[in-house]
Amino acid sequence: MLVLVWKRADLRESSRLVTFLSAERGRFTALAKGAHRGNSATLGKLDFLNRCEITLSGRGFPLLSRIALVHEPRALRSPPRFLWAMHFAELFDAALLPDHPDRELFELALGTFTLVERSEPRRLPVVAAAVELRLLRALGLLPEFGVCSACGDALSAAQPAFTARREAGLLCERHRGEGALTVALPVRAWLPRLVAAKGRELPALELGPALGPILALAGRWVEAGLERRLQYRALALANQDADFPSTDASAGMRR
């Protein structure tokens, strides 16, 4: 079974409890007996985000009986990539339920961490916005881009739309409400493209001035959908190179 190593905790003197992600079991925990011993077959394999093939045994709590390292993501050790990896880990940890198989989310996680490894760090905010929107789609929480989420009427292709500060979705002029933010036409045009583009195409997309508002929009929507504040997202954005386009939410999104 192909897994991502997710978390680990020491158990007594020689063993560990290890949490994995997989398509077949979702997020689950197994016991790695003797993992601390000098001759353990798990040495160097149970590190965060390592990709492994494992075999489980036991009728009750699963026991790790075999493990083979498939890929060690060494590129994630650099600070910019590590912060983005932590942000995505926070996202998928909230989205993947314990012992609940979800192949779509697992494959999205695999592809996401591969992009974090292979993309230039300055291109990762574009990847982040696309992954956040795709995660919402996989959870059935992505709003429709062409209709008002309040009334269901089609949004004008020639007029800006609006979004509430703490709810996902686009709103028409009639339902914008107090404190709603304006979503400019270029921002709206990019949303479906980010969802539809192939993963390998994402780092090359040039969003220009629309990037900051899209990051602000995706961040609000994913926090509303997951019902939690994301701790590592702001740290990852703050660590970007100084020449990276502004991610200020006010750029292109105004009251």
Considering the domain architecture, whether residues 61 and 110 belong to the same structural domain is answered as no
Q: Determine the Cα–Cα distance for residues 55 and 2; give it in Å rounded to an integer.
A: 9
Residue 248 clears pLDDT 50, i.e. is over it:
no
CATH of the domain at 32: 2.40.50.140
With vertex at residue 242, the alpha carbon angle to CA 238 and CA 247, rounded to the nearest 5 degrees, is 55
Residue 207: give the domain boundaries.
Answer: 76-238
The identity of residue 188, as a single letter, is R
pLDDT digits (tens, 9 = 90+) for 121-175: 999 999 999 999 999 999 999 999 999 999 999 999 888 999 998 889 999 999 9
Give me the pLDDT at residue 240, please.
79
Residue 255 clears pLDDT 60, i.e. is over it:
no
pLDDT digits (tens, 9 = 90+) for 55-75: 999 888 999 999 999 999 999
Considering the domain architecture, whether residues 89 and 43 belong to the same structural domain is answered as no
- Please name every residue paired with 161 in a beta bridge, in sequence order, or none if there are none: 183
Per the listing, tokens 């077949």 go with 24
Considering the domain architecture, whether residues 36 and 152 belong to the same structural domain is answered as no
Considering the domain architecture, whether residues 116 and 137 belong to the same structural domain is answered as yes
Residue 27 clears pLDDT 90, i.e. is over it:
yes
Which of 166, 132, 161, 165 lies closest to 147 in space, CA to CA?
Answer: 161
Considering the domain architecture, whether residues 214 and 116 belong to the same structural domain is answered as yes
Q: Determine the Cα–Cα distance for residues 160 and 48; give it in Å rounded to an integer.
A: 43
Classify residue 45: in a domain, yes or no. Answer: yes
Q: Determine the Cα–Cα distance for residues 31 and 40; give it in Å rounded to an integer.
A: 13
Q: Determine the Cα–Cα distance for residues 155 and 26; give it in Å rounded to an integer.
A: 37
> CB of 254 within 8 A of CB of 180?
no
Per the listing, tokens 């003797």 go with 34
pLDDT digits (tens, 9 = 90+) for 107-125: 999 999 999 999 999 999 9
Dihedral sign for Cα atoms in the order 62, 64, 70, 72:
positive
51, 72, 93: which is the final residue of a domain?
72
Considering the domain architecture, whether residues 61 and 98 belong to the same structural domain is answered as no
Considering the domain architecture, whether residues 106 and 41 belong to the same structural domain is answered as no
Q: Determine the Cα–Cα distance for residues 239 and 122; give it in Å rounded to an integer.
A: 10
Which comes out higher in pLDDT, residue 215 or 39? 215
Classify residue 62: in a domain, yes or no. Answer: yes
CATH of the domain at 209: 1.20.1440.120
What percent of the chain is helix, strand and coil (3-state, nearest 5)? 40, 20, 40
Averaged pLDDT, 66-93: 95
Considering the domain architecture, whether residues 123 and 41 belong to the same structural domain is answered as no
Considering the domain architecture, whether residues 147 and 160 belong to the same structural domain is answered as yes
Classify residue 255: in a domain, yes or no. Answer: no
Q: Determine the Cα–Cα distance for residues 15 and 35; give it in Å rounded to an integer.
A: 5
Tally of structural domains, the chain: 2
Classify residue 209: in a domain, yes or no. Answer: yes
Which of 138, 167, 133 lies closest to 150 in space, CA to CA?
Answer: 167
Considering the domain architecture, whether residues 15 and 134 belong to the same structural domain is answered as no
Considering the domain architecture, whether residues 35 and 141 belong to the same structural domain is answered as no
72, 98, 131: which is the final residue of a domain?
72
